[in-house]
Amino acid sequence: MKRRDFLKTSVVAGAALSLNFDGLQAALSSNTIAVEAAPELVAVMGGEPQVMLSKALETLGGIGNYVKKGQKVVVKPNIGWDRAPDLAGNTNPELIKALVKGCLDAGASKVTVFDNTCDNWQKCYQSSGIADAVKTAGGLIVPANDEKYYKEVALPKGVKLKSAKIHEALLEADVWFNVPVLKNHGGAKLSCAMKNYMGIVWDRRFFHSNNLQQCIADICTWDKKPALNIVDAYRMMHQNGPQGKSAADVATIKSLIASTNIVAVDTAALGLFNQVKKLDINAVGHIGLGERLKLGTTDLDKVTIKRIKV
């Protein structure tokens, strides 16, 4: 079964959507390659965020595979909007809390969290629940609302975007994790791992006026790649994104996807999205453009996938 055969669920109860595990398997292709060593992509379904993260990291060999003692770590969620967690405009705070704590338990000297927000940064950090989550876990949440926090880097592989000013916390980090929430987006059509890179740069206006889809792919060519892309799909905004208007825009699907392959992660996440609302991969142009730039593959039949039901 190919991506075109993604299954849709048929029953939506209010704002919450219940997906069965067979549907998740279909959404992530029918690849049946036996996984002996660590897989390239892990999909977890049916648990709370911290439980699903634990299962994914365990399958991938543990947080110690990514974080070493004394390293400076950045966790980059989506915190772009002044929205409460139940509206799914931002990454789930419980997931961020668990990841920050896990990094510190692995011996990280510091774990920093930030996002270049669209709404007022202080309100976004607070309303999302992420500020409190980071502080509770022992991490440091820092602002990203001023150009002084950014330094220019070259993007020699970019097509439209040849350079960008990137937040200093990322430039100084030894390791970083890309932790988006999966949701609808009016311009990019889908907001996930690749789109989450827009929160690490200062000037997003250039993206919107110079081929948004290509610029999203271009920024992902930056040579400092995430240790892991971890997609929060506990709640998913399936319409009126990226901000959302009400609970009617949100489906509760209790899922998480993790991989180093950012194109495969977004392709798999699109499979989940398609169980709620149909969106053709060609409409999400940055995914195919990322593949063209050799950032990963859209062919999930070539990816070793481990599926876990909690």
CATH number at residue 33: 3.40.50.11440
Residue 105 lies in a domain: yes
For the chain (310 residues), the mean pLDDT of every run of 10, in chain order, is: 31 37 58 65 98 98 97 98 98 98 98 98 98 98 98 98 98 98 97 98 96 98 98 97 95 98 98 96 98 98 96
Alpha-carbon radius of gyration of the chain:
18
Residue 14 lies in a domain: no
Domain coverage including residue 93: 23-309
Predicted confidence at residue 16, as pLDDT, reads: 37
Distance CA 167, CA 169 (A): 6
Residue 8 lies in a domain: no
Distance CA 175, CA 66 (A): 8
Predicted confidence at residue 13, as pLDDT, reads: 29
Residue 7 lies in a domain: no
Residue 136 lies in a domain: yes
Alpha carbon of 131 to those of 50, 94, 128, 302, 307: distances in Å? 17, 11, 8, 39, 31
Predicted confidence at residue 35, as pLDDT, reads: 47
Residue 13 lies in a domain: no
Residue 217 lies in a domain: yes
Residue 15 lies in a domain: no
In the chain, the number of structural domains is 1
